[in-house]
Structure 1
């Protein structure tokens, strides 16, 4: 790969955003490993579920409805949710207090099971996430896609970012940039493309000492329409 030096990417982003101070103020900082470890299973499930419902829908509408989701699904506590019968899940999927979408509601059950099983294997879901190697962050994306439900594409990564996990995001601007340097060729979510992305971001991380989150955002700000 013939990669652009990160300093050049940074300077272009700063010029587009009114200087380095303005650019730095726009960046979000990920949580530390210790902070991630303190996140409980119910908050992971809530975040995944919110992003599943926001996919293809107005994010604002989903956020406004979310207190009703929290109430109907026991604050997304894993234990009570895993005890629900199929009939009880069906009843919840048509409850007028929430956005009625059967397959998205059923993804809550599947993702609760994923979080529960990860906890058995790793001590807690948060521990698995916090200890995931940063140079294979797309491996975590693939884990969510394989073991969860409706968490493929950008849904899983956006949920991780929302929770403070250090991850890049293949937004439209970032993807377009990576394609221009042939880091992504063909399908975006192929093993080859994701491996190339990991390699590129690891390279820029070594150059800059910055988080994957910062690098991803700076790339987005350096090109395109800045669709975040």
Structure 2
């Protein structure tokens, strides 16, 4: 596995300089900013990611005001009470994307918010407390306890909320395979642990957040103009 300084140097060369490269990167938020997130903020992002998965993202963005109204501004205390009659009415609402299976995830993920609130005070506090050195453990937790949060969905949610996380995009996965970290896309707990160990090592080498490490990897390979995440 190459030292991350070589990956960084390759990305700098491809993007025309260090300043140009870092202008393309994003940064995670601070712990106090995660703690300030409301559970409604978090449930809204989870819902948006669930609905955008396998669908045209711009359509969900265009209809988002309708989603906010239909789902009561994503108040988990209300949404946990969604029953079949509410879901049936939502299936007639043209202001949202009427996908029944995805609509049914909302009360499940609202219950996730309430369960975590009971234990940690809020979902944002929970995120702030979770160590980045085990970010794949957080992915697996959300997949197990939430609805439709497998694959890259959990990492997309965390990235949007500002939690420091890498994303296993196509280019990042290709790099991990090329470096011998994994031999195919990481889906098993063992493979995800190997990926986490690689990112932990790279972070020790260059002292950059996980978010930027994976963006730099994506910009060091492939034909992208910006990061492939």
CA distance in 2, matches of 1:118, 1:225: 41
Unaligned runs of 5+ residues in structure 1 are none
Alignment of 1:170-209 (within 5 A): 170-186=168-184, 188-209=186-207
Q: Which moved more, 1:185-194 or 1:46-55?
A: 185-194
Tell whether the 8 Å contact from 1:94 to 1:102 is kept in structure 2 after alignment: no
Helix, strand or coil at the partner of 2:216: helix
* TM-score, scaled to structure 2: 0.96
Tell whether the 8 Å contact from 1:94 to 1:101 is kept in structure 2 after alignment: no
| Aligned length, in residue pairs | 226
Give, in angstroms, the shift of residue 187 of structure 1.
Answer: 5.0
CA distance in 1, matches of 2:125, 2:31: 9
Unaligned runs of 5+ residues in structure 2 are none
Alignment of 1:95-174 (within 5 A): 95-174=93-172
Task: Determine if the alignment matches structure 1 residue 20 to structure 2 residue 35.
Answer: no
CA distance in 1, matches of 2:21, 2:48: 28
Deviation string, structure 1 residues 192-222 (Cα, Å, up to 9, x no partner): 1100111011111111111000101001100
CA distance in 1, matches of 2:7, 2:51: 34
CA distance in 1, matches of 2:138, 2:172: 19
CA distance in 2, matches of 1:150, 1:84: 17
CA distance in 1, matches of 2:200, 2:6: 17
CA distance in 2, matches of 1:173, 1:79: 39
Helix, strand or coil at the partner of 1:158: helix
Tell whether the 8 Å contact from 2:80 to 2:108 is kept in structure 1 after alignment: no
Structure 1 consecutive aligned stretches of length 4 or more whose deviation exceeds 2 Å: 83-86, 225-228
Give, in angstroms, the shift of residue 225 of structure 1.
Answer: 2.8
Distance 1:94 1:183, change over 3 A: farther
Give, in angstroms, the shift of residue 122 of structure 1.
Answer: 1.5
Deviation string, structure 1 residues 35-76 (Cα, Å, up to 9, x no partner): 100000001111011111111111111101111000110100
CA distance in 1, matches of 2:223, 2:103: 33
* TM-score, scaled to structure 1: 0.96
CA distance in 1, matches of 2:4, 2:184: 24
Give, in angstroms, the shift of residue 120 of structure 1.
Answer: 0.7
CA distance in 2, matches of 1:209, 1:155: 26
CA distance in 1, matches of 2:176, 2:40: 35
Q: Report what 1:223 is aligned to.
A: 221
CA distance in 2, matches of 1:195, 1:145: 15
